[in-house]
Structures are given as structure tokens and as C-alpha cells.
């Protein structure tokens, strides 16, 4: 049985991904931070293995890696780096703590989880690493400078990892969603959502499942010649 680790797997895109991979027959592990009830539901409904981890805390990341190593000594066939936090502020109002949190969640955790489990993939001669970036990593967003910066960093990490790991049969790609109907956008007013939808050529927000179809495709055999790509799933926004 193939195995997958999905960070931020209790809500939104991560939850949809966990359900999709479990339905496809993967032994599924997720991390979560504050969504304990949703994680427990997923454990019950999909037999997922759940791990609480606050990626803002570097010590928590190290503890997570130890726990995953104990339960998955051979590592994973697929890594889906989905955990994320949002921040909407003018750049001069961003604190150092907020900046560091963005780096830890969006870049440090994916980097060190990949560094830990990529060697297992290399030994097997196959594996998939999939980063969930954002359309803002390509376009940039006003009042979301830290978020745009780290999502752009994920794209760069994807391309560099892909070149390094391709000779070993490990494929690394990035999915860049646009407007998605998740909790991360729950603080938007209905007026703001309508205005955002009007900017999207398809005229609407995506459902999380629509993003996950691309993630599942990249994990499958039909994507065996795709690596180093940042694939937009954004309704034509970018």
C-alpha cells in the first residue's frame, strides 16, 4: 500500500486531499494544528493517522518528524505540503513574529520534511513531492506581501528540488490555486468575495475538490514525465 503525508490535512484543500488519497487506497497521514475535531472525524471516517503540529514552533516540527519516523519507518510515497496561514496587512504593520511564522509554516516545514523523507524515495527510485503554493506566488497581492513572498518561495523550492531529485526518479511539482472556498477566505465579506469572483475569468471560487484533482493527478502514473512545474488551478486568474 502506498502512503501519503498531507500537512494541514484537517480543513479545506488538505481535507479534500486526505479524503481523495484515502479513497484511492493510500495509507494516509495528516498533520493539523487547531482543527482537532475535524482531524478526529477524518481518523474515524478514512482511517487516517493524525498528528498535531504547530509549524510555527521549530521544536514541534522536530517532534513531528520523530513521530512520523516511528510510525512510517520506510517514509512516504507522496508528500503534499499544504499547511498554510494567511496574513492580510500592510507591509509596515507586519511584525517580526508574523514574518517568522509565515516562513516557518510555508517554507521551513516543507523543506525539512522533504529533506527527511526524500532519501527514502531516492532509495526506492520513485516518489512525489507536491507543494501547494498560490496564484499570489506568481502575481503578488497587495496587503499580502509576506504570503506572496513565501508562496513564491515554494515555487522556487519546487524547481530546485525537481532538478536535484529527478535523476533519482523523484518528481517535484507545485499547484497554485486561485480563489478557493475554504476557511482561509472565511474572513472576506460577501462584497469582497463578489469583487474577487469578478476578477476571475470563470467568475467563481473553486471548490477544494477541484484543486485536489490536480494534486491526485500529479501523484499518479499519468504524471510520470512532469516535474518542476508550477501549475495554476485558478479559473484563468493568472
Q: What is the 3-state secondary structure (H, E, C) of the chain?
A: CCEEEECCCCCHHHHHHHHHHHHCCCEEEEEECCCHHHHHHHHHHHCCEEEECCCCCHHHHHHHHHHHHHHCCCCCCEEEECCCCCCCCCHHHCCHHHHHHHHHHHHHHHHHHHHHHHHHHHHHCCEEEEEECCCHHHHCCCCCHHHHHHHHHHHHHHHHHHHHHHHHCEEEEEEEECCECCHHHCCCCHHHHHHHHHHCCCCCCECHHHHHHHHHHHHCHHHCCCCCCEEEECCCCC
Instruction: Examine residue 178 and state whether it is found in any structural domain, yes or no.
Output: yes
Cell numbers placing 227: 516535474
- In percent, how much of the chain has pLDDT > 90? 90
Q: Work out the average pLDDT over 176-197.
A: 82
Instruction: Examine residue 163 and state whether it is found in any structural domain, yes or no.
Output: yes
Instruction: Examine residue 224 and state whether it is found in any structural domain, yes or no.
Output: yes
pLDDT, position 153: 98
pLDDT, position 183: 73
Total structural domains within the chain: 1
Domain housing 84: 3-233
| CATH code, domain with 33 | 3.40.50.720
- Residues tagged active-site: 147
Instruction: Examine residue 238 and state whether it is found in any structural domain, yes or no.
Output: no
Instruction: Examine residue 105 and state whether it is found in any structural domain, yes or no.
Output: yes
Grid look-up 518542476 returns: 228
Instruction: Examine residue 109 and state whether it is found in any structural domain, yes or no.
Output: yes
Instruction: Examine residue 119 and state whether it is found in any structural domain, yes or no.
Output: yes
Instruction: Examine residue 24 and state whether it is found in any structural domain, yes or no.
Output: yes
pLDDT, position 198: 87
pLDDT digits (tens, 9 = 90+) for 121-165: 999 999 999 999 999 999 999 999 999 999 999 999 999 999 999
Amino acid at each position: 500500500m502506498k502512503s501519503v503525508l498531507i500537512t494541514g490535512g484537517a480543513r479545506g484543500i488538505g481535507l479534500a486531499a486526505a479524503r481523495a488519497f484515502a479513497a484511492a487506497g493510500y495509507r494516509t497521514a495528516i498533520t493539523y494544528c487547531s482543527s482537532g475535531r475535524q482531524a478526529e472525524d477524518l481518523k474515524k471516517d478514512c482511517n487516517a493517522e493524525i498528528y498535531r503540529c504547530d509549524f510555527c514552533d521549530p521544536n514541534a516540527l522536530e517532534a513531528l518528524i520523530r513521530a512520523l519516523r516511528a510510525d512510517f519507518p520506510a517514509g512516504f510515497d507522496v508528500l503534499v505540503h499544504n499547511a498554510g496561514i494567511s496574513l492580510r496587512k500592510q507591509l509596515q504593520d507586519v511584525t517580526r513574529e508574523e514574518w517568522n511564522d509565515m516562513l516557518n509554516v510555508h517554507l521551513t516545514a516543507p523543506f525539512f520534511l522533504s529533506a527527511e523523507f526524500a532519501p527514502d524515495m531516492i532509495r526506492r527510485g520513485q516518489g512525489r513531492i507536491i507543494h501547494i503554493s498560490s496564484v499570489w506566488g506568481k502575481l503578488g497581492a497587495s496587503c499580502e506581501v509576506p504570503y506572496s513572498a513565501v508562496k513564491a518561495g515554494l515555487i522556487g523550492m519546487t524547481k530546485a528540488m525537481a532538478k536535484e531529485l529527478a535523476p533519482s526518479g523523484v518528481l517535484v511539482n507545485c499547484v497554485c490555486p486561485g480563489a478557493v472556498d475554504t476557511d482561509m477566505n472565511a474572513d472576506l465579506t460577501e462584497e469582497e468575495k463578489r469583487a474577487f469572483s469578478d476578477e476571475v475569468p470563470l467568475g467563481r471560487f473553486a471548490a477544494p475538490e477541484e484543486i485536489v484533482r490536480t494534486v491526485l493527478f500529479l501523484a499518479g502514473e499519468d504524471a510520470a514525465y512532469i516535474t518542476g512545474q508550477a501549475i495554476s488551478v485558478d479559473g484563468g486568474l493568472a
